[in-house]
Amino acid sequence: MSSYEIYIAYMTIVRKEIQRFMRIWVQTLLPPSITMVLYFIIFGNLIGSRIGQMGGFDYMQFIVPGLIMMSVITNSYGNVVSSFYSTKYQGSLEEMLVSPTPNWVILAGYVTGGVARGLAVGAIVTSLSMFFTQLEIYNLGIIVLVVLMTSILFSLGGFINAVFANSFDDISIIPTFVLTPLTYLGGVFYSIDLLPDFWASASQLNPILYMVNAFRYGILGVSDIAVGYALLVISAFIIGLFSYCMYLLNTGKGIRK
Amino acid sequence: MTRYALQIDQLHKTYDNGFTALKGISLKVQEGDFFALLGPNGAGKSTTLGVVSSLVNKSQGSVKVFGHDLDKELSQAKCLMGVVPQEFNFNMFEKVQDVVVQQAGYYGIARDEALRRTEQLLKQLGLWDKRNEASRTLSGGMKRRLMIARALVHKPKLLILDEPTAGVDIELRRSMWEFLTRINEQGTTIILTTHYLEEAESLCRNIAIIDQGDIIKHSSMRDLLKTLTTEVFVLDLKSPLAQVPEVPGYRLQLVNDTHLEVSITQGQDINGVFARLSDAGIQVTSMRNKTNRLEELFVNLVTSNKTDLQGVSA
């Protein structure tokens, strides 16, 4: 395939993916918005007003970056895992597998779809947060970079989950038992400075901590982790997961018989 | 020099569970051919086509499509093939038109051109009125035609059809035969698997029969049919008959009082039977083959292959 043909194949997958989540916006865009508004009201307004300050900011201001990241993570992951698994389940994945579209283009197309939904939900949640607190941007470049990298990373994660999934139950196990606990323990609601030394050190094994803190740095200018180190960790995860996805696609594990 | 659309050499496939689906099959399909790959359920037909279309990883052997080895030039080989699988495998929530346009996109065809080709194919296959409907709402026959349109959108030189007329009513089946014959005449090589042997006999020029992972027959349809030593015809009689009339040299048998079975062996002609029946005042209103000729051969070949294998294992 020429590079122009590859571009067309890539855009075909991206268009299909974006049309899919836009067509079912009641399932894909609305629920995370409602969930985050409830977080803002309950944790930010009601409980947050009694907590006072954290990291030098109002509690509401402190948790907003984490909650935005939480919605980006769950939606980019959820988009790819559900879309790719449905494609596999219905057999329509074969449409791509019999075509000359290179494997990396298939992966890039799905990841872009996941990133698009992550960014769309992130933008909606950010807009809604404006009703509850005033957000100031400390470093726009870091914000954009971290959101993009995080959504790429979790889109790749969703892809791997979908490849191994054999039932619809399998695509909810990782989000429920791994992703949600890691997100809650990733410094969304608290600074790890509050934790005893052991748990503060243990938290550093949680990759989500780096994303939440790097993003918080972009908005508030404060972070529990050095931003450069956080970006390095996220990059390492992306390279690792991308390589594994390509291995799965090239060997046909979970995809070809 | 003969050009081959498909060359399969010593193809083996053993699945992860240890089941050997293909035991080293070799097959050649000439460019422009209309080729039938027949076999009982589980014989290895779909596995063979799965390997050719790269949906199944082979264990050993080589596959070439118009000379492009799947191991070395997979992308070129894929561009030359269109695949219509046995099961419906399109996104049931997509619109009919989108299913075809997206497939064109996967082959790098720009959207304007894809829309133009899709319109042309959907019109040819009688689906244009349904273009904006969700594909899940189509009838079974329409879904089959949609998969054919999808497989043809990138203008492949080799079209692989895995039981394309399964569950399709006879009228629609015949219109699909006409369509496939037309595209074959225009130069597309077609490989077909089917359980309707009448379909294979009327459409295909060459044939391979696969059974238990081995090719047990590979020849032209004409040569294969020549090997049929006996044909059985059923004659419909105008008036009821009490006993079988005597016709020297022919084997006759009453099915019921108005249907007579006549066995004709190679070298005999049926005129002699008609002459004797006419002399005896027996009027024949119509005649048909008891079973499809290819069906007869197919059953004989598969049965003798099973007997041979049982002999070997014993």
* Least CB–CB distance from B55: residue in A90, A92, A94: A94
Say what the pLDDT of residue B152 is: 95
Of residues B7 and B239, which shows the higher confidence score?
B7
Q: Do B90 and A95 touch (CB under 8 A)?
A: yes
CA distance A183 to chain B (A): 33
Has residue A256 been placed in a domain? Answer: no
Cβ–Cβ contact B89 with A under 8 A: yes
State pLDDT tens for residues B57-97.
Answer: 999 999 999 999 999 999 999 999 999 998 899 999 999 99
Confidence of residue B286 (pLDDT cuts 50, 70, 90): confident
- Give B-chain residues touching A16 at CB under 8 angstroms: 98, 102
CA distance A129 to A234: 25
Q: Do B92 and A90 touch (CB under 8 A)?
A: yes
Measured CA angle at A188 (ends A28, A33), to 5 deg? 25
Cβ–Cβ contact B50 with A under 8 A: yes
How buried is residue B131: exposed, middle or buried, by Cβ count under 10 Å (0-12/13-18/19+)? middle
CA distance B20 to chain A (A): 13
* Least CB–CB distance from A91: residue in B78, B87, B150: B87
Q: Same CATH fold, B230-293 and B1-80+189-227?
A: no
Say what the pLDDT of residue B228 is: 64
**Tokens at residue B215, please?**
């090719």
A198-230 in b/e form (b: 16+ CB < 10 A) is eeeeebeebbbbbbbbbbbbbbbebbbbebeeb
Q: What is the percent of chain A where pLDDT is above 90?
A: 53
Has residue A229 been placed in a domain? Answer: yes
Has residue A9 been placed in a domain? Answer: yes
- By residue range, what is the domain housing residue A138? 3-251
- Give B-chain residues touching A21 at CB under 8 angstroms: none
State pLDDT tens for residues A187-211.
Answer: 888 887 788 888 888 888 888 889 9
Q: Which of A75-79, B48-52, B208-212 is least confident?
A: B208-212
Has residue A62 been placed in a domain? Answer: yes
Neighbours of A153 (CB within 10 A): 28
In sequence order, what E strands does A115-196 have? none
* Closest-CA residue of chain A to B147: A95
Say what the pLDDT of residue B74 is: 93
Please identify, in words, the CATH class of the domain defined by B1-80+189-227.
alpha beta
- Give B-chain residues touching A249 at CB under 8 angstroms: none
Query: What is this model's ipTM?
Result: 0.86
State pLDDT tens for residues A92-132.
Answer: 999 999 999 999 999 999 999 999 999 999 999 999 988 88
Query: What domain count does chain A have?
Result: 1
CATH superfamily of B230-293: Alpha-L RNA-binding motif (3.30.70.1560)
Phi, psi angles (nearest 5°) of residue A222 = -125, 150
**Residue A152 confidence (pLDDT) above 60:** yes
- Give B-chain residues touching A17 at CB under 8 angstroms: none
